[in-house]
Chains A and B, each alone.
Chain A
Amino acid sequence: VKLKTWALIGTLFVISFGLWAGYVLSRRAFLRDFNAGVHSYLSGQFEEAEQHLRGALKRRPHSHEVTQLLSKVLIERSFAEYHQKNYAAALETLDRASQTIPADDAAQNTFTALREQLSVPADKRPVNIEQVLDGLYKHLPAQTQPNSLQAVMEQWLERSQMSQEALLKHFWDNQEHWLVQLEREQEQFRRVLYGGLILFGVGGILLVVSLVGVLHAYFGRRGVFARLLEDHYRRVVAALPAGSHVLLGPPVSLHAVPESQQMDIIEAEIISGHNEEESAKRLQSLLEGENPWVRARAAKILYRLDPRLSLQELKRLVTDASDGAQVPGMWALSELGTSEALDLLVPLAYSPSREIQQGAIRSLLQLQSKASLPSDVQEKLNKLLPEIRSRTGWVF
């Protein structure tokens, strides 16, 4: 699987996590409003209940439970206002209740009947009998036609009672129902929350582990950082002025080549005095490789076992026409820090190529800074550098 695919998987994961988190937060806010609405309703705080339920409805406009409870709250509020003789407010509240469920025809019919009843103030009911008769008498079946004022009153009261009961029944008059409904909502929210946490937590861990595995497979241990550093310093080096790119030292990417690890082992064996003959053979085979940095490093290591062959190879590298080979050769010579290395580097400081001159002087300066440099070589170098400075014009 390519790196881009992993990036895509990661992006999809982040997007889906974001969507889930957004949903959970929104649902939590909805539940908070719904919860507050139910509790305000149960404690008789209709105004607050309406406020919270409208908030919940704004977040979930199609929530059947919230619409039902809001209608019920408004109806009960309307009754309460009617009993407080605040008739205008009672009708207005009833209208708002009616607007919450405009599509429910049965409920709308009941609302209309109820509105007719509430539009008659309680203290005027016995007096304003014509209005009652106008409003209700005509709806009654023929066999139950009232034959006295007393009967009309009883029927009217019965009908009024029935209308209220019917309406409240329509909206589930069982107060416990809302608590059960609330608990169900909370349970669903918990399921979504914990389910998401488990899913995204496990998914995230799996993704990170897989990504680390992929990066490890691509770049090797610590290779990711080496690669990033290499990119960064390639940009830094590119930003340097022309000619400054002749920086000494192998590129970081060299550590990733298989020969590099092989050479680490060989060098360790040579230092500890094991398998010298075998090491020399392996190094000689590396000298035939194509990568000039590998050849230069192999020649540098070989110096301990076979100085003649090592210097021969380094001479070949620094006299190669391409600076691709000369720079590694110069680096290896500056690392050697011997009199022979100095003899090979000095002529390069007078090369017709400014870049090779610069690289050679850099190698000589590196050589000069070596604490292990023999004193006679140091002395010779100290005499040579001012001469090179005056003849080449480089500042150092």
Chain B
Amino acid sequence: MPQDNAARILIIDDEPIVRQTVERALSPVYEIQTLPSSEKLEQTFQSFLPDLIILDVRMPQEDGWHLCGRLRRDKRFDVIPVVFLSAMSDKASVRKGFSSGGDFYLPKPFDIYELKRAVEIFIGRKHRYPAGD
């Protein structure tokens, strides 16, 4: 069980198996919430403002790049680090991930330890990038 003041992570991926695997790996340390798409994102943010978002790129309604760009343009959420997970592992996709405002791009398949390490880096960095007023 995570501690009361544990960092919050939101996982948005349309693949149930990826959501489950990542949640299982991170839930002992972090408070986790998962979404299959960006549809209920606003609603989720009202009760669960994450410290980090793990975001799939290819999703049926709104793709991860578009969603990330939308978050970056919103002053309320533009400081939340975004880690992309994607099966699109060509360089053009990585480039697009970074240019949409992503902080990290982890191409699928990935080792769960790689993801844990990336999460630790960004959660640990949070105190250096406090949210604005």
Contact = CB atoms under 8 A, between A and B. Distances in A.
A394 interface: yes
Contacts of B108: 361-362, 365, 394-396
Most chain-B CB neighbours within 10 Å: which of A242, A362, A366, A393? A362
A366 B112 CA distance: 20
A396 B94 contact: no
Given A236-B98, A362-B107, A241 B89 contact: no
Interface core residue of A241, A242, A248, A361 (most chain B CB under 10 Å): A241
Contacts of A365: 87, 89, 108-109
Contacts of B58: 369
Interface in A362-380: 362, 365-366, 368-369
B94 A362 contact: no
Contacts of B89: 246-248, 362, 365-366
Nearest to B97: A236
Given A236-B94, A395-B18, A395-B115, A244 B88 contact: no
Contacts of B105: 236, 240
Q: How large is the interface on B (under 10, 10 to 19, 20 to 34, 35 or more residues)?
A: 20 to 34
Interface in A155-200: none
A358 interface: yes
B1 interface: no
Nearest to B118: A241
Interface in B1-43: 17-18, 21-22
Contact of A395 (B21, B90, B117): B21
B76 interface: no
| Size bracket, chain A contacts | 20 to 34
Interface string B103-133: 0011111111011011000000000000000
B73 interface: no
B75 interface: no
Most chain B Cβ neighbours within 10 Å, of A246, A247, A393? A247
Contacts of A369: 58, 87-88
Interface in A208-246: 229, 233, 236-237, 240-244, 246
B94 A233 contact: yes
Contact of B91 (A252, A358, A362): A252
The 3 A-B residue pairs with the shortest CB-CB distance in the complex, in nearest-first order: A394-B109, A365-B87, A396-B109
16 contacts: A233-B95, A236-B95, A237-B91, A240-B105, A241-B111, A241-B114, A244-B110, A354-B111, A362-B89, A362-B107, A362-B109, A366-B87, A392-B109, A394-B109, A395-B115, A396-B108
